[in-house]
Amino acid sequence: MPEGQLYHAAPRAQLINFAVIRGILFRQRWLVGSIIVLALLGGLVVTLLSTPMYQADAKVAVKPFAQYVVEGQDVEQGFTPSQIYDYLATQVEVIKSRSLAATVVEDLDLASRTDLLGKDVDEGRSPGMSDEQWLKAKKEMATSILADSVVAQVPNENWVITIGFQSESPTLAAEIANAYADAFVASGSANSAQSNSYALEYLQTQIEETRKRLGEAEQVSNDYARNSGIIMESAGTEDGAAPSTLTASNLSSINARVANARAARIEAEQRYRALQNVPAAQLPEVQSNPVMQGVVAERTAKLAQIADLRQRYNDDFPQIRNLEAQLKVLDAQIERSSADIKATARSQFLVAQAQERALEAELNSLAGARMVEQDQQVELSVLDREAQALRDQLKTLLDRYNQINSAANVDPGMLSKLDAAIVPSSPYAPNIFKNLGLALVFGIALAGALAVLRETLDDRIRSLDEVEEKIGLPLLGHTPYVENRDIEALGTNRFSALMEAYSSIRAAIDFTMPRNRNVIQLTSSQASEGKSTTAVILAELFAGLGRKTLLIDADLRRPSVASLLDIERPKVGFVEVLLGHVQLEDAVVKGVHENLEILPVGEIPPNPVEILASKELRDFIAKYREEYSLIIFDSCPVLGLADAPMLAHLVDGTVFVLEANKLPFGQARSAVRRLGAAGANVLGVILTKYRALEAGQAYGYQYDYYQYGGDKKAR
């Protein structure tokens, strides 16, 4: 932004234009005030003519989460704490229902009483209707009356529902309100018992069906086990493992025996292999056998004797031979014992090997049978699970049935009567303040609607902004509304609001027209819009500036300049000057104001249009243009007459005078178009008799501005 340049923000559009609203209210004040007064009077009349109505109230406490004595009392509870107000709203609708109203009718026998239906109720009985039908019809009528007259609202800060009944009789209102409270409390207990009864019946049906299905499931499981040859040894272990079958148990036993046989065979084989190449004397059995130890010791002794004898004798010595023979017998005995031990080890090995092979064959046979059984056991497990699920379901149903059966006769006390209704001492309706308030609201609404409608249909120009918006001409200024009797007094006070306004208009006209174009015309749409008054005051103001001014009364039909200046209308005037009967100096009126000369109308001519269209008027303007600083023509209104358009074609500028709040803007625009069609140079509009309040502005908006100075203290 260049230095020194100011930024002008666009004015924000107002969402609500209070000035427009204020103006509508002021303009339509008599309509609005009349309608509001009539509405209040109507409300007062209705209040005085209305029948007094009484309302009695009973209070019922609601305990949605009552303390339960035994399990099963919460059968009917079907809402969460967040839905408590929905539950209370449901209870209020129960109170307003026709079913509860019918219960109250039965309890109080209201169909046979006349205090509710009226003493002349039997007059509405149709011919041919039986007593039973008529009694039923009266019950329906009583039920409808109760349903329409009962009052109940959802509580906001507590769980207490107030049940009210409205009636012309205070005693009847209290009686029915108490009956409603009792019936509502009883319906809560009945609903609880009914819910428990329904739950018991439903559970009993489910138990029977579950038992039947469980028997069928167990039978199917047993039949399948029998057909498949599956024999269960146990019902399962405590840790939840699956039950074991006979085949599985046998397979487990054979598998253990095969392992033991394999270990025994390995041990026997290892022992047999170890004994095959071991000398007889080193065999453990030989070393541990006392007999064999004696034989070995004896053999050792024999060998010692032979060795001793061979030192002295040769081998043919009989004693040596005898000892060698004995030694052979001992060796044979040792060898025989060793062979027996090895044969025994071999036999044990072969027996262990045979046992192992036999057990392995049996294991393979049982393993094959177990594989088939496992496939069958999968299907059996499915059947067993179905049966077990039904057993669990049956147990749950039986437990719930026992709980509800124990709580069936226990009232949880969710509804309790807190306060009984008492006979009201004063009526609740008609309420004069409420009725007058409603009448006031209705009156304001109706008055506002009619005021807006009238404003919509009324297109008169009231505000300053509407001049340029609707007519399309610049606003030269406006004058405040002044009573006719005050114009003379205010016109002599140059600090009055009226004169300040005209001074502003004079300045606007002075700046609009150049000095060499000094002939102007003042006209309006129709009469009595302040045109002549404006012309006189402007002429005096221009003259007060030292400018020689000629004011010509060119309204040849209803001249008014002379009467406004309080001078006697002369015998000769503007027409006579134009026609050359008299000179201008002999016809003008001087002395009213310094520098001001006035040319009024003498005799009213019969042909004003021809006079204003004459060449003499053109020559008159051309002749005296240079002699006077300003010439002002006060002409006729535009609408319906040709005078003003014809004169507008000759003058240098035309000022259009428009009275505020009088003429529809369509007529004003038509008048302006006529001037434009005649070739007029319309300088702008002067809005006269402007009422600030009717335009929606504050009372002192314009007046304070124009009254700056004067009698006020300097500030």
**pTM of the prediction?**
0.49
What mean pLDDT is reported for the chain? 79
Which two structure tokens, joined as six digits, stand for 540? 């005096």
Check residue 596 and give its pLDDT.
Answer: 93
**Structural domain boundaries of the chain?**
1-50+430-458, 251-407, 516-702
Check residue 196 and give its pLDDT.
Answer: 63
Check residue 538 and give its pLDDT.
Answer: 93
Mean pLDDT across 411-427: 80
Q: What CA–CA distance (Å, rounded) separates 570 from 604? A: 11
User: pLDDT of 666-692, one tens digit each?
Assistant: 788 888 899 989 889 999 999 888 877
pLDDT at 8 over 50: no
3-state DSSP assignment of residue 61: strand
Higher per-residue pLDDT: 49 or 77 = 49
Q: Which of 407-416, 556-565, 609-618 has the lowest mean pLDDT?
A: 407-416
User: pLDDT of 387-400, one tens digit each?
Assistant: 788 888 888 888 87
User: pLDDT of 581-613, one tens digit each?
Assistant: 999 998 999 888 899 999 999 888 888 888 888
Size (the chain), residues: 715
CA torsion, ordered 101, 104, 106, 109, to nearest 10 deg? -120
Q: What is the DSSP letter of 110?
A: G
pLDDT at 528 over 50: yes
Report residue 208's pLDDT band, with 50, 70 and 90 as the boundaries. confident
- Find the angle CA(279)-CA(283)-CA(289) to the nearest 5 degrees: 130
Check residue 241 and give its pLDDT.
Answer: 53
Q: Which residue has the tokens 């018991």?
A: 200
User: pLDDT of 254-283, one tens digit each?
Assistant: 788 878 878 887 877 777 776 666 665 556
> CB neighbours of 398 closer than 8 A, spacing ≥ 6?
207
Which two structure tokens, joined as six digits, stand for 369? 């049978």
Domain 516-702: which topology?
Rossmann fold (3.40.50)
- Max mean pLDDT range (60-64, 223-227, 285-289): 60-64
- Max mean pLDDT range (120-134, 168-182, 491-505): 168-182
pLDDT at 220 over 70: yes
Q: Report, in this order, helix, strand and coil percent for the chain, each rounded to 5.
A: 60, 10, 30
Residue 367 and residue 255 in contact, taking contact as beta carbons nearer than 8 Å: no
pLDDT at 2 over 70: no
User: pLDDT of 374-388, one tens digit each?
Assistant: 666 677 777 778 878
Higher per-residue pLDDT: 572 or 265 = 572
Mean pLDDT across 527-531: 86
User: pLDDT of 539-549, one tens digit each?
Assistant: 999 999 999 99
> CB neighbours of 347 closer than 8 A, spacing ≥ 6?
none
Check residue 686 and give its pLDDT.
Answer: 92
Report residue 41's pLDDT band, with 50, 70 and 90 as the boundaries. very high
DSSP string, 188-249: HHHHHHHHHHHHHHHHHHHHHHHHHHHHHHHHHHHHHHHHHT--BS-S--TT-PPPPBHHHH
Higher per-residue pLDDT: 317 or 196 = 317
Check residue 412 and give its pLDDT.
Answer: 52
pLDDT at 13 over 90: no
The Cβ of residue 367 has, within 10 Å, a number of other Cβ atoms equal to 13
Backbone angles phi, psi at 550, to 5 degrees: -115, 120
